[in-house]
Chain A
């Protein structure tokens, strides 16, 4: 038999409601803290194309990037450009991993591996035959600084057309490496063929200097500086992600802006 419900006194109601609320609150605090500890102590991902990030965080990073890329990326979205006078005279330099010292342009060649395995060896003069494009824009470093800089060279799309690499450009990624293979990046094709992506050989109207990746470097405004590889020695195309220096050290593979 069920006892007839007795009207609770106000004190009983207060006690009962406080007990339930604080019980749930306590469980939430313990649960939340445990979840945080789990995430904070979660093991690093297995080393591959990407490495160095907590496994669940890498998963989240990839998913978030795909979400924003699908939602927002368009080759019609252009980086803001500035008048030449606003460009920095003293262009910031962070690192020359893979491009130390000076590389005499005559000793340098760009090795482009085609789909059929054939390797094209291009000289700087051959690349300079492509109409020159200039850009003055706000260069953005993953560290958080930005600087208005002036670069010039061949647009990547023009490079593709000029050397008949249309078939290669249908693949998903382009991989770039320095001549000594110490620095390497992977770029998704939509970002590579973005109209503002440039294979640059000039800075502030002068040929590139040693510290800035002479004789030829990548300037890709839709990516952080870490993807703007200096002194390109090798170029290859693939449907799988090419190796990437900073993606191996916990950074997002896409690093798009």
Chain B
């Protein structure tokens, strides 16, 4: 029998779909800014593995020579990013939704099982619930990262006025590096997230738009229910 199961509250869906384009614009405008001093790379023992970013990458995305424009976009859309995130966190706290999201004492062990299962190494399905352990960790991490982007961002934006934020980040120079690393983190999160959403299928995806999921539920035998009651 088909049953409608409520899954994602309205505010969670709105903030999710507002965040997606806003964060995309923040990353794009961030690249326009980064281009002006594109010094970061992953270099180990003198060998550069990744250079952020190669010339063809900049050219394809029309990044070069747009620093002023990038700053103008970045300092407008930061408002939407912050307000949307603030609204989501506030809602999660007030509604109690955070209970489904924050990792608990089992999460780290279970997350390992989720990973093995997803990589087809382990057959048994780990406990799912609304979010499984790996999701709890990933989705909480992304909120913490968002918070980190705001702190490091403000430390870069006004390092003298927000001297205490710059200090927390280990100084202005390091704050810019953190800010960049967090952005790379979003991109990696996004890649995994998209693959997982595709694998989870349409039914899961549509629930982030409609809020509900349709589940096939077998009506439980009446006898068993009575037994349960007697036990209690």
* Contacts from A to B (Cβ < 8 Å): 10-11, 13-14, 17-18, 21-22, 25, 28, 32, 36, 52-54, 57-58, 60-61, 64, 68, 72-74, 77-80, 138, 140-146, 221-222, 246, 249-252, 256-257
Contacts and interface: CB of A to CB of B under 8 A. Distances in A.
B209 A22 contact: yes
A53 B68 contact: yes
A138 B173 contact: yes
A133 B37 CA distance: 31
A144 B37 contact: yes
B53 interface: no
The 10 closest A-B pairs by CB, nearest first: A144-B37, A250-B68, A72-B161, A143-B36, A21-B210, A57-B72, A60-B76, A143-B37, A257-B160, A145-B37
A17 B76 contact: no
19 contacts: A10-B1, A10-B4, A11-B2, A14-B2, A14-B212, A17-B212, A18-B210, A21-B211, A22-B209, A25-B209, A53-B69, A60-B75, A78-B163, A80-B166, A80-B171, A138-B172, A143-B67, A252-B71, A257-B160
| Chain A binding surface, main DSSP class | mixed
Interface residues of B, number: 39
A79 B212 CA distance: 53
Interface string B157-173: 11111110010000111
A257 B161 contact: yes
Contacts of B210: 17-18, 21-22
Interface in B1-39: 1-4, 17, 21, 25, 33-34, 36-37, 39
B141 interface: no
Nearest to B38: A144
A64 B2 contact: no
Nearest to A40: B73
B176 interface: yes
B214 interface: yes
B52 interface: no
Nearest to B176: A144
A210 B163 CA distance: 33
Contacts of B75: 60-61, 64, 252
B172 A52 contact: no
Contacts of A53: 68-69, 72
Nearest to A249: B68
Contact of B67 (A17, A78, A79, A142): A142
B51 interface: no
Contacts of A138: 171-173
B79 interface: yes
B72 A77 contact: no
Contacts of A257: 158-161
B104 interface: no
Given A14-B2, A32-B21, A138-B173, A74 B72 contact: no
A45 B151 CA distance: 31
Contacts of B196: none
B69 A10 contact: no
Given A18-B206, A36-B21, 8 more contacts: A22-B206, A22-B209, A53-B72, A57-B76, A58-B72, A77-B161, A80-B166, A143-B36
Contacts of A250: 68-69, 72
